[in-house]
């Protein structure tokens, strides 16, 4: 669900930037990201941890985490280089599909491989296609609202998938009886 909230938060920050007053147009996206992140942290604390406890990772998992950090760091450096190159050469642009696939889908697929999280492959493809869908949807709806449409549509799909997995998790791992008696 966090990925869906994160993805859906990009739509208003891009589409409504010209329509909102000065501080809100810049802060809307980060406020929605903070909302999603707080939901993620609170759900970990109050829904997941009481049911399955805290996980301590072994050496293999820590090595995988280091590989993820290296891959994502290289991706950020490449993005910064392309951004600086684009500042000095504004006529240079990559197609939206290529941007999304290179800088969102590919790194998230590496992360999915290293943490062995198969559902992240699907999320990576969805994240990579949002730019492209926003560009294509500009043919059927006005320019600022095409981003709202594409980001809310794809973010909503991820939120629904997350809700389904959350409901399955809550049914599979009910709250232990001692936790229930503490709350009463």
Contact 150, 11 (CB under 8 A): yes
Quick: pLDDT tens for 84-114.
877 787 776 677 778 788 888 888 898 898 8
pTM > 0.85: yes or no? no
Mean pLDDT for the chain overall: 84
Quick: pLDDT tens for 109-155.
988 988 889 999 999 999 888 888 888 888 888 887 888 888 899 99
Which pLDDT belongs to residue 184?
Answer: 55
* Contacting residues for 84 by C-beta, under 8 A, at least 6 apart: none
């Amino acid at each position: 669900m966090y990925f869906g909230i994160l993805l859906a938060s990009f739509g208003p920050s891009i589409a409504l930037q010209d329509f909102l007053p000065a501080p809100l147009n810049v802060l809307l996206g980060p406020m929605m990201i903070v909302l999603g992140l707080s939901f993620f942290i609170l759900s970990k604390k109050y829904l997941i941890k009481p049911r399955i406890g805290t996980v301590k990772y072994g050496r293999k998992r820590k090595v995988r985490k280091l590989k993820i950090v290296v891959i994502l760091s290289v991706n950020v450096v490449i993005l910064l280089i392309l951004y600086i190159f684009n500042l000095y050469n504004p006529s240079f642009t990559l197609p939206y599909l290529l941007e999304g696939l290179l800088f969102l889908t590919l790194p998230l697929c590496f992360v999915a491989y290293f943490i062995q999280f198969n559902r992240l492959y699907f999320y990576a493809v969805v994240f990579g296609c949002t730019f492209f869908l926003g560009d294509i949807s500009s043919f059927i709806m006005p320019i600022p609202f095409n981003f709202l449409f594409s980001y809310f549509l794809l973010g909503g799909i991820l939120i629904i998938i997350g809700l389904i997995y959350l409901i399955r998790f809550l049914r599979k791992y009910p709250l232990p009886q001692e936790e229930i008696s503490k709350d009463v």
